[in-house]
Amino acid sequence: MSTEQAQPAVAVDELILETEAAKGTTTGIPGRERGERIRRAIAYVVMFGVALLFAIPFLWSVSTSFRTLADTVGSFSLLPKHWTLSGYREAFHTFNFGKYTLNSFIIAGAVTLSNLFLASLGGYAFARLKFPGREVLFLLVLGTLMIPDQLRLVPIYLMLVNWIPAWVGHLGWHNASFVNREGLILIQLVSATSLFLMRQYFLTIPRDLEEAAKLDGAGYFKTYWKVMLPLAGPALAAVGILMFQGTWNGLFWPAILLQDPNQYTIPIGIAHFRFAYTTLWPPLMAASVLAILPILLLFVVFQRYFVAGVAAAGVKG
Amino acid sequence: MRKRLMVPALLAVVLVASVLAAGSQAKTDRSKAPAAPSGTVTLNGWQVSPAEETKLSKVVADFERTHPNIKVNYQSITGDYQAQELAKFAAHKPPDVLYVDVADFVDWAKQGVLQNLDPYVKSSHFSTKPFYKNLLNAFKYRGHYYGFPKDWSSLGMEVNTTLLGNNPVPKTWAQLRSVASRINVPGGKPICLSADWARLMAFVYQAGGTGQWKDATTAPFRAAANFYVGLLKSGLAALPSDLGSSWCGEAFGKQKVAFAFEGNWMFPTMASFPGVKFTTAPMPKGKRHGNLAFTVSYSMAKDSKNKPAAWELLKYLVGRQGMQQWVSLGLALPTRVDVHAVPGRGAFLRYPSSVHGWGAQAGFRHIWNDVANNELTAVIAGKESVNSMLQKIAASAR
Amino acid sequence: MAVAVGKRRQARGLGGERVREALVGYGFIALPMAFFLLFFIFPIGYAFYISRYDWQIFKGPYVGWGNYRALYHDSVFWTHAVRNTLVYAAFVVPLQMALGLTLAVVVNQAIRFRTFFRAAFYFPSLAASAAIAAIATYILASDGLFNTILHHLGYTHTHAWFDQETTALPAIIGLNAWTTSGTIMLFYLAALQAIPTDVYEAAAIDGANAWRTFWKITFPLLKPGHFFVLVVSIIGALQMFDQSFLIGGASGGPNYSTLTVVLYLYNQAIGNIKFGYGAAVGVVLFAFIFTVTVIQRLLFGKAEVA
C-alpha cells in the first residue's frame, strides 16, 4: 500500500497539476503548456505563502531564541537586533536540559511502545474477533475519550498515592510509590484514540490473509503477531507519532506527578521560565525550539507511512 | 551489725544506681531532646522569579547546615499550585511545610488541612511580637495561628518623572485626576489601571470601606468603583491590554503611562527597562489611606508526618535570620520589625496601619476570580452598571 | 468473498470454536480494558459518587441529587459555560475540518517539496499548547504583529484580541482551528489515499473540471473520513480547557466570554473547593458528549462490516 506512487491529480480550482500518466501525452499545444506552468507557479507561490503563515510562530520562536531579554520587550523586530546564544546557554545552565530530554524520551518512548502493543492487540480483537458484549465494550472505550483530565485529577492522584500502593502492598511490594515517572507512564499505557485507530485499520485488511494463516494452523496470537501486525505498519506509525508527540508535549500530568526534579521533563523545564511578573522568553524559546526538533524529525521520517495508516482507519469510520 | 551496714549499703546502692540511671537518662534525654528533631521535611512553594528560586535554596541550605539532622526536600511547584496542593490534601499526603497564599488561607484552614501552630509556639517559646500585627492576624483562624507570614508586598504609585514634568506628585484622588488630565503621554494614556479587584480593593479601603465581599453594596465600594471605572471611561486611564502590555508594570516600563499602581515587585521589573526615570509614591488618599497587603504564609499541614522537624524549618524560615536573608533580595518586604527592608521601599511602608490583607475571608479566591473580576470587566466594557456588579458580588458572598 | 468465507467458518465452527474465539477476544482486550476501567471508568464512577455529597476536599453530608439541582439553577453555568462551549464547538469543528481537508487535498498532489509542505502545515499541531498560547498572546496583542498587519491593510484594531469580550472567544476559535488543522490534514490525507484512482480518471474522461470533481466525487467518497474526524473533533471541542486556562486567565474572562464547561468544572473544584459540585458538572458533560456521539453514530448509520 505504497503512498509514494504518484497520485492522480485531484485538482482544486487553481491547482492543476500534471499527473505522471499525463506526462508527455496529448498536451502538445505550447500555449496551453505555458499557461499551465504559470498557473502551477502561482500555485506554488500561494502554497509557500500559506506554509510561511503556518510556520511563522515557529520561526518567531527561533528568532526570539537568539535574542537578549531586553530585545524581547522592546519594539517589535522580525530578526534579533543582536544575535546571541545567551538564551541557549541559559536554558542549558538553568536546568539540566540533557536530563530533562532523557526523561522526556524515556516517558514518551515507554508510553508509545505500550500503546503500539496494547492498542493493536485490542484493536485487532475489536475488529476481527467475535465475543459477547463487543459493541458495548467498544462504546466503553469510546466513552473514555469523554472524560476530561481535570475531572480525573483527584481520583487518579488518590489512586497513585494511596490505593494502588496499598493493593500492591498486599502482594508483598511495600512502600511502592507511583508519584513519579513510573506512575506517569502507568496512567498512559493505552489511549482510546490509538485503539480506535488500530481497529479502523484492521477492519480494512482483507480476510484472506487471516484465512491463509488459519489454514496453516496458526493460532490467534500468531495470526495477530505474524500476519496482521506487519500489515499494520502504517497504522502503527500513525499511533506512534500521535502518542509520542502527545506525551512529549504533555504538561498536565507531569507537573502533578513528577515531584523529583531529577525526573522533570522538558515541558516542566520550559514552564520554569514563566514567572508571575516576567517571562524569560529567550531561554524559553530556545528550549521550545530544541524540544520540537525530535518530534519534527520523527514526523518527517514517518509521515510517509503515517498517511497510509490513518487512511484506511478513516475509511470504515 | 549487718543491719547497720545494710542501710548505708542500700543507700549507696541506691545512690550509685540513681547516679548511673541519671547518667544514662541524661544520655537518652540528649538523644530524645525536643531540640533535635530529625528526618526529612518536604517544603512546597512556587517561584515568582528566578532570583527567588536561588535565594530560597540558599536559605534552606543554611538551615540544613545549622540543623544537620534535618533534610529539606524543596519542591518548586509548576503549574497550578492550588490544584496540586488540594490533590495532596485529599490524599492525606501533603508536604510538611508549604506556602499558603492569604487568598486561600481561610478556605484551607476551614477545611482542616492546616496545623494549629499554637502548641508549637508555646513549647518552643517562639515570640510573635516582632511580626506586624495586621499580617500576623491575616493567618489566624478562630484565634489560633495557622501560619506565619513569610513576606509581603503592598501597592504603591509609580510615577514616570519625565512624563510628570513640573506637575506635583498627586496625593489624593482629586489631585490624581487633575494632574492626569494635565499630562500628555504620547502613544498611551496618563494612568494604567488593571481590570482586577486586587487593585480596585485598595481604593475601596481608601474610601473607608471594609473590604469584605459581603459589604460590596455599601457606599465606599460604590465610590471606589465609580472613581476607578470613571478614570477609564474618561480616557484618563487605560487597561494594560490596550497599551500593548500584559500588565501595568510592563506598560509603565514601556513608558505608555505616567502612573501605575503596582507593588514592590516593580523594582526587579524596572531593571529590564533601564532609562526610565521614575519614583514611587504612596497610594493616593481617598477619605483615608488604604492599601493592600499581598502576603503568603509558611504553614504546616495537618497530615504532616514529621511535625517537630517541620516546625524547626518553619521557625527558621520566618525567624529573624532566615527572613533577613530572604528579603535581602529586595523582592518582598519583611514581616518582622527586626528585619530591615532593602532601602528604597519607603513609599510602600509609609502608612502601615492602612494596610489590609488581601484575602482573609471565606470563599475569597472563588469570588475574586470567578465573579468579581468578570463583573468588573463587564462594567469597564460598558456592559453593566457599577451597582449591578456590586449587587452580584455581595450576593455571591452570602 | 471475505464475507462468504467468514460465514462458512462460522457455520463450520462448533460451539467450541466460538467459545475459543470469544475467550481469545477477551484475552486480547483484557489489558486495555483493565486499564480503561481502572483509569477512566473508575474515575467517572468516583466522580458520580462524590457528586452525591457535599464534598469539599473531604467527604461531607449526603445530598443526593442536590448538586445536580443546584447546577440546573446555576445561571453562570448555563448562560456562559454551556453557551460558550456550544458556540465554540459549532465554529471550531467545521472550521478545522474545512481547513484540514483543504490542506490535505493540496499536499495530496504530486507536488515538489511535498514533505516540506506537509511538515510546515503540521507545525502548529507539533508545538505544545503553552508555547502556542504564549506566542499567540504576543502576536495578538494590541500593538502586536496581527494588528500591525491589519493596520497596513486599512483596518485599525486597537485592542488585544484576547482581552475584549467580543473577540476573545473568536480569537481562541481561530487559534485552535489553526493548530488542529494539521492533525485533521493527516486524517484526511489518509482517507484520500483510499479513493481508487479509476474514479478520477473516469471523471476526467467525462470532462468534469477540478471543482466539480472534488465536490461531486471526492467529497462524498470521503464520508467515512468525515465521520471519524467529526466524532473525534466534537468530543475534543466540547472539552476545551487549555486555551481558556492559559489565555483567559483561568477566570473565564473577560466577562465570562472564555468560560467553558471544563474550566467551570475546574474552578468549582479547585477555586471554590467543591469537589462534589465540580464532579457533578463533569458527569453532566460526560452524559452530554456520550449522547451526542451515540446520535452521530446513529445518524451516520452504517453498521460496520466486521
Tell me: the pLDDT tens digits for B71-125?
A: 999 998 888 899 999 999 999 999 999 999 999 999 999 999 999 999 999 999 9
* Partner residue facing C266 (CB), from A61, A150, A309: A150
Region A195-218 average pLDDT: 81
Task: Tell me the three-class secondary structure of chain C, residue by residue.
Answer: CHHHHHHHHHHHCCHHHHHHHHHHHHHHHHHHHHHHHHHHHHHHHHHHHHCCECCCCCCCCECCCHHHHHHHCCHHHHHHHHHHHHHHHHHHHHHHHHHHHHHHHHHCCCCCCHHHHHHHHHHHHHCCHHHHHHHHHHHCCCCCHHHHHHHHCCCCCCCCHHHCCCCHHHHHHHHHHHHHHHHHHHHHHHHHHCCCHHHHHHHHHCCCCHHHHHHHHHHHHCHHHHHHHHHHHHHHHCCCCHHHHHCCCCCCCCCCCCCCHHHHHHHHHHHCCCHHHHHHHHHHHHHHHHHHHHHHHHHHCCCCCC
Beta strands B237-238 and B70-76 are unpaired
* Pairing mode, strands B140-141 and B144-145: antiparallel
- Model ipTM value: 0.85
Locate the chain C residue with the closest alpha carbon to A145: C235
Structural element, H or E, at residue A124: helix A97-128
* Contacts of C293-300 spanning 24+ positions with Cβ under 8 A: C293/A142, C293/A146, C293/C231, C293/C234, C293/C235, C294/A139, C296/C227, C296/C230, C296/C231, C296/C234, C297/C231, C300/C223, C300/C227
Chain C: residue nearest A205 by CA? C2
DSSP state of B167: S
pLDDT at B6: 59
- The residues with which A279 forms a beta bridge, in sequence order, are A274
B34 CA to centre of own chain: 30
Number of Cβ pairs < 8 A linking chain B and chain C: 82
* pLDDT tens-digit map of A237-287: 778 888 998 899 998 999 999 988 889 998 888 887 777 666 778 888 888
| CB-closest option in C58, C163, C271 to B369 | C271
Interface test with A, best of C58, C126, C183, C243 (most A CBs within 10 A): C126
| Mean pLDDT score, A171-178 | 87
Tell me what the mean pLDDT of segment A125-132 comes to. 91
Q: Which residues of chain C have pLDDT under 50?
A: 1-2, 4, 303-306
Instruction: Kindly determine whether residue C109 and residue A124, on different chains, have CB atoms separated by under 8 Å.
Output: no
B213 pLDDT higher than 90: yes
Inspect the interface and report whether the beta carbons of B79 and A94 lie closer than 8 Å: no
Confidence check: pLDDT of A59 > 70: yes
- Check C267 against B383: CB less than 8 A apart: no
Contact C211 A220 (CB under 8 A): no
Among B78, B81, B269, the residue to mutate for chain A (most A Cβ within 10 A): B78
In this structure, what C-alpha cell is assigned to residue C299? Answer: 445518524
What are the chain C neighbours of A224 within 8 Å (beta carbons)? 28
CA distance B169 to chain A (A): 26
In this prediction, residue A6 carries a pLDDT of 35
Give the model's pLDDT for residue A73: 67
The residue among B386, B189, B198, B205 whose CA lies nearest residue B284 is B205
Closest CA to C306 of A133, A208, A127: A127
Q: Is the pLDDT of residue A5 over 50?
A: no
Q: Which residues of C touch A153 (CB under 8 A)?
A: 269
Smallest Cα distance from C255 to chain A, Å:
22
Collapsing DSSP states into helix, strand and coil, what is residue B196?
A: coil
- C123 chain-A contacts, CB cut-off 8 A: 54-55, 57-58
Please name which of A69, A137, A134, A116 lies closest in space to residue A286, comparing C-alpha atoms.
Answer: A69
Q: Which residues from chain A sit within 8 angstroms of residue C42, using beta carbons?
A: 155, 159
CB neighbour class for A119 (10 Å; exposed up to 12, middle 13-18, buried from 19):
buried
Whole-model pTM? 0.87
By CB atoms closer than 10 A (0-12, 13-18, 19+), residue B352 is: middle
